[in-house]
Amino acid sequence: MVVGDIATGTELLVIGAGPGGYVAAIRAAQNGIDTTLVEKDAYGGTCLNYGCIPSKALITGANLAHEAGHAEEMGIHADPVVDMSQLRDWKSGVVDQLTGGVEKLCKANGVNLVEGTARFKDENAVRIAHGGEGQGSETIEFEHCIIATGSRVIQIPGFDFGDEPVWSSRDALEADTVPERLVVVGGGYIGMELSTTFAKLGADVTVVEMLDDILPGYESDVARVVRKRAEELGIDMHFGEGASGWREEDDGIMVTTETEDGEENEYRADKVLVAVGRSPVTDTMDIESAGLEADDRGFLSVDDRRRTDVEHIYAVGDVVEDTPMLAHVASKEGIVAAEHVAGEPVAFDSQAVPAAVFTDPEIGTVGMTEADAEEAGFSPVVGQMPFRASGRALTTNHADGFVRVVADEESGFVLGAQIVGPEASELIAELAFAIEMGATLEDVASTIHTHPTLAEAVMEAAENALGQAIHTLNR
Amino acid sequence: MALKEFKLPDVGEGVAEGELVTWHVAPGDEVTEDQVLAEVETDKALVDVPSPFNGTVKELLAEEGDVVPVGDVIITIQEDGDDEEAAEAADAAGSESAESDDADDADGASDDESSSGGRVFAPPSVRRLARELGVDLDAVDGSGPSGRVTEGDVRAAADDDGDEDESSGPRTVQTNGKSATAKRDEGTSASTSASASAPAESADRKQTLAAPATRALAKEEGVDIDAVPATEMRDGEAFVSPEAVQEYAQAQREAQAADAEAVAAEADAGTATAEATGEATSESAPPESGPGAGERVPYKGVRKAIGDQMQRSKYTAPHVTHHDEVDVTELVELREQLKPVAEERGSRLTYMPFVMKAVIAALKDFPYLNSQLDEENEEIVLRDEYNIGVAAATDAGLLVPVVHDADRKGMLELADEMNEKVEKARNRKIAPEEMRGGTFTITNVGGIGGEYATPIINYPEVAILALGAIKEKPRVVDGEVVPRNVLTLSLSFDHRVVDGAQGARFTNRVKELLEDPKLLVLE
């Protein structure tokens, strides 16, 4: 049966139900806007289905198994066996619970949900092609639109995700067995998170990175803590090499790499995971028909209300140029766009964006590094607290890493922080809050922090910057 | 049942502010949709502001005499409950502009923010409040720890702005206003005396410390940041604040305006026939020093609009004025004959329709006099319409109602339309659109006295014709001196577009037609 092309109207059309889109849709509906949310695949987008959430589930499983098997010094002797397919099912259960929750929340808030792929007809209408043959299509006219189509993994020449031994991050999270030997192309945060996870699950992991260190973009003393731990976990890291191809062997596959000087190396593996980054999805919906143009990398430029050049069309999340591809950035942008549609005086004016890497140990960063602060014209002062001096860190048996706070010396305003160590992803939130509030070092240092907790290290780092630390030697 | 805020709407194209002349409602009054709430005088006209809601007036937020920027809340209305749906619909329609205003206000504020490039030390809730109140956070001195901006600081800054808007008398205060327009206006009304004060003197340094936003502001205002007097010294270097740049730019503008006024004062005498009374005080006698040196008359509303327009014209278009005399004896006779005929038809026939006819005929022969210079595209636009403005003296100043498509109208039609519009202008009931779109202006300066004038072009038109009085003068006809009726003509034109010879030929053509008005029958 062919369903005719019936045009319906909506005040706000949101394309994509990831952390940018669904949050925008719910907030808009809360503000009394008639909102329609279009999703072609799964509620929650990459984050909930193929990214943040499933990877964190796997990481938790891997950590548990690994720690249980490596606690002899605490008198715990165990040799856990991981049933990978069972771990995967548990992970899928978590994902289903969350995505189901998103769908329910959308409905409960009165968001109209539409399944299908949107293409712009003009700047006030899209055509939605419903999935599956003969499902027909419909036209939706809108007053405002928020593009929240996210990103997809980048594929590199010689490695086709269609080939069974070649994994994208999404494939890796769906694995029901642990490969004996895994080559990971790319030492960025996704590559390192998955390398660590599979190493802990028992794989023999080799990381091939084109640059000369893992975690590009992070300060070298931060990356060093993670690299040292990765070495302890038996991860073999090769720098200055780019993966050039792979071939079938009798026993698995052979991944070939090339150095800048043209020197070739080969690594035996069972799977090769390519994690070299993500690119925005702006090429599937005929944005030209709406009068929009993406830049040469596919990003859309927006103003601080997240409006594109076509004022009633907004863009949020991974499709937006110049903001990091992070779920929480997408959500914030979605809220700004939705509230602006509702006439609220909002702007994306966040002073700092926190980011977390779930390696071992974790990394949490927010705001400026010392070098950033100098470049921005501040006279930065830095305070640091190693976790070795934290009672709580020692009792968790994870005492690698440190908390570093960067502030303006004259005013004391907190400008940034870098944490590498246990629960860094959680600890960074306090410092993000401090920065947004315009708090000073003294404000952080004078706030009583619970003992014994890891969070005390944040207070100590602030005290250290003031030259008043108790548990470390002041600078 | 909500309490609705009503913002001063954009009452005319490009109008940035209006003077609240009269409130027609008071707190407690019930109002219905479309009921007139207030009368607002904008640059050019008196406009009725209707209510978008049904409800009860809660509070009037502007006083009569206040100059209110477009987008400022002027009244709050408690919306009716029993008619909720209708009210909501009305609200949806009415608040549409309010919403976009909101967005625009906020745009201004946050553009400033983003251009600062650095951190704003204020919590998110305070930043949002600043956007809501239209306060530029960069310009707020924080009272919190280390200068952190607090909610109180933002509210205080917003109130400061409000206070300034409310006071209508002479003002010399200069702080961060809500909009550039508001600031500029304040400065101007603070009188030209400021140009003599310190900030006008340039500092002329080699190096200056300033925030990127301040540098951008200086660029925008067209001032050299090294010339702006330093606010303070930081690390041994002169530091300049955005306020200092504003102040300096303001002083520069005033100095220029003072020069302009001196020039315009002479030239203006020609065009503005209504300048006779009290207004002369504000025009020609700027106070020499601070408050108290003389009566201060606010420079605002129509007066200021005229001033701005004159200044722009005189500084944009190089004026040349061509003078001549026309023997209109025959025209006087013709008009005497036709006057009773016109009266029978209910029309009052003056000389103006004849002049308009003659001018249109001449414009058709010399299309460059009916043109406009598009500087951006470097093109001269030869207008295909003949919309003739007729300057009218009113109590508020000089207004120019426009007779559109005058070439397609008969003599009596021209007479009627012109009389009607001039009357409306005098009563200040003329709509802004009735004063727009002119392609050529005629001004009658003869009514009060004088021979010739040097009228200022009604920019962006390129020419204006001033008529003197028709007087009996001795003329030589066939070798004998006889009394004849003579009219003086003064044509000012934009020398960028029209050369002297062309101006003279145009005037000759007008002259020919007025000397021998029979020829007008052919036109």
Which architecture characterizes domain B301-522 according to CATH? 2-Layer Sandwich (3.30)
Is A375 within 8 Å of chain B by CB? no
Tell me what pLDDT residue B249 has: 81
Instruction: Measure in Å the smallest separation between the Cα of A143 and chain B Cα atoms.
Output: 13
Yes or no, beta carbons of B120 and A351 under 8 Å apart: yes
Tell me what pLDDT residue A277 has: 94
Instruction: Measure in Å the smallest separation between the Cα of A37 and chain B Cα atoms.
Output: 23
CATH of B3-79, one of 1.10.1270.20, 2.40.50.100, 1.10.8.10, 1.10.1740.10: 2.40.50.100
pLDDT digits (tens, 9 = 90+) for B383-428: 999 999 998 887 767 888 999 999 999 989 999 999 898 888 888 7
Distance CA A221, CA B285 (A): 72
Mutate to test the interface with B, among A335, A341, A351 (most CBs of B within 10 A): A351
- What is the average pLDDT across A432-436? 96
Residue B284 has pLDDT above 80, yes or no: no
Yes or no, beta carbons of A349 and B122 under 8 Å apart: no
The 10 Å Cβ neighbour count of residue B141 is 12
Residue B87, helix vs strand vs coil: helix
Q: Which residue of B has its CA nearest to A336?
A: B128
Q: Which residues of B touch A443 (CB under 8 A)?
A: 145
- What is the average pLDDT across B36-48? 77
Distance CA A421, CA A430 (A): 15
- The DSSP result for A314-340, as a single string, is EE-GGGBTTS---HHHHHHHHHHHHHH
Tokens read off for B427: 């009563």
- The DSSP result for B399-457, as a single string, is E--EETTGGGS-HHHHHHHHHHHHHHHHTT---GGGG---SEEEEE-TTT--S---PPP
Instruction: Measure in Å the smallest separation between the Cα of A396 and chain B Cα atoms.
Output: 35
Q: β-strands B371-374, B237-239: how paired?
A: unpaired
Dihedral, CA of residue A355, residue A359, residue A362 and residue A368, to nearest 10 = -40
Residue B487, helix vs strand vs coil: strand
- AA identity, residue B181: T
pLDDT digits (tens, 9 = 90+) for B227-250: 787 777 665 567 777 788 888 888
**Neighbour-count burial of B224, counting CB atoms closer than 10 A to its CB (0-12 exposed, 13-18 middle, 19+ buried):** middle
Yes or no, beta carbons of B113 and A340 under 8 Å apart: no
Q: Which residue of B has its CA nearest to A436?
A: B123
Yes or no, beta carbons of A345 and B106 under 8 Å apart: yes
- What is the average pLDDT across A145-154? 97
What sections of B142-272 are H helices per DSSP? 151-166, 180-189, 212-221, 242-271
Instruction: Measure in Å the smallest separation between the Cα of B96 and chain A Cα atoms.
Output: 9
Cβ neighbours of residue B162 under 8 Å, at least 6 residues apart?
none
- What is the average pLDDT across A215-242? 96
**Complex ipTM more than 0.95, yes or no:** no
Please provide the size of chain A in residues. Answer: 475
How would you classify residue B371: left for phi > 0, otherwise alpha for psi between -120 and 50, otherwise beta? beta
**Neighbour-count burial of A138, counting CB atoms closer than 10 A to its CB (0-12 exposed, 13-18 middle, 19+ buried):** middle
pLDDT digits (tens, 9 = 90+) for A193-216: 999 999 999 999 999 999 999 999
Tell me what pLDDT residue B14 has: 60
Yes or no, beta carbons of A345 and B146 under 8 Å apart: no
Q: Are B242 and B213 in contact (CB under 8 A)?
A: yes
Is A470 within 8 Å of chain B by CB? no
Residue B272 has pLDDT above 50, yes or no: no
- What is the average pLDDT across B43-57? 77
Show which of residues 389-448 on chain A sit within 8 Å of chain B, judged by CB atoms. Answer: 410-413, 415, 436-438, 440, 442-443
Cα separations in angstroms, B153 against A51, A186, B146: 43, 49, 14
Cross-strand bridge partners of residue B30: B56
Q: Which residue of A has its CA nearest to B95?
A: A343
- What is the average pLDDT across A135-164? 94
Of the candidates A154, A115, A197, A161, the one whose C-alpha atom is nearest the C-alpha of residue A325 is: A154
Yes or no, beta carbons of A411 and B122 under 8 Å apart: no
In chain B, domain spans? 3-79, 82-119+166-267, 301-522
Q: β-strands B73-79, B55-60: how paired?
A: antiparallel
Tell me what pLDDT residue B211 has: 66
pLDDT digits (tens, 9 = 90+) for A373-399: 999 999 999 999 999 999 999 999 999
pLDDT digits (tens, 9 = 90+) for A79-130: 999 999 999 999 999 999 999 999 999 999 999 999 999 999 999 999 999 8
Q: Are A166 and A274 in contact (CB under 8 A)?
A: yes
pLDDT band at B489 (very low <50, low <70, confident <90, very high): very high
Tell me what pLDDT residue B104 has: 40
pTM: 0.56
Instruction: Compute φ and ψ for A279, nearest 5 degrees.
Output: -125, 150
Instruction: Measure in Å the smallest separation between the Cα of B233 and chain A Cα atoms.
Output: 16
pLDDT digits (tens, 9 = 90+) for B88-146: 444 444 444 433 343 343 333 333 333 334 577 898 889 989 988 888 888 888 888 88
Q: Which residues of B touch A376 (CB under 8 A)?
A: 117-119
Q: Catalytic residues of B, which ones?
A: 495
Q: Which residues of A touch B111 (CB under 8 A)?
A: 304
Q: β-strands B73-79, B397-399: how paired?
A: unpaired
Distance CA B187, CA B192 (A): 9
Q: Which residue of A has its CA nearest to B115?
A: A304
Active-site hit among A66, A130, A451, A471? A451
Yes or no, beta carbons of B121 and A411 under 8 Å apart: yes
Distance CA B491, CA B320 (A): 8
pLDDT digits (tens, 9 = 90+) for B161-206: 655 444 333 333 333 333 333 333 333 333 333 333 334 455 666 6
**Neighbour-count burial of A335, counting CB atoms closer than 10 A to its CB (0-12 exposed, 13-18 middle, 19+ buried):** buried
Q: Which residues of B touch A442 (CB under 8 A)?
A: 145
pLDDT digits (tens, 9 = 90+) for A349-379: 999 999 999 999 999 999 999 999 999 999 9
Distance CA B218, CA B246 (A): 8
Sign of the dihedral defined by the CA atoms of residues A447, A451, A457, A463, in that order: positive
Question: Tokens 């020398």 — which residue?
Answer: B495
Q: Are B388 and B263 in contact (CB under 8 A)?
A: no
Q: Identify the DSSP state of A300.
A: B
Q: Are A25 and A35 in contact (CB under 8 A)?
A: yes
Residue B314 has pLDDT above 70, yes or no: yes
What b-and-e string marks burial along B178-213, b requiring 16 or more CB atoms within 10 Å of the CB?
A: bbeebbbbbbbbbbbbbbeeebbeebebeebbbbeb
How many contacts does A have with B, using Cβ atoms within 8 A?
68
pLDDT digits (tens, 9 = 90+) for A15-65: 999 999 999 999 999 999 999 999 999 999 999 999 999 999 999 999 999
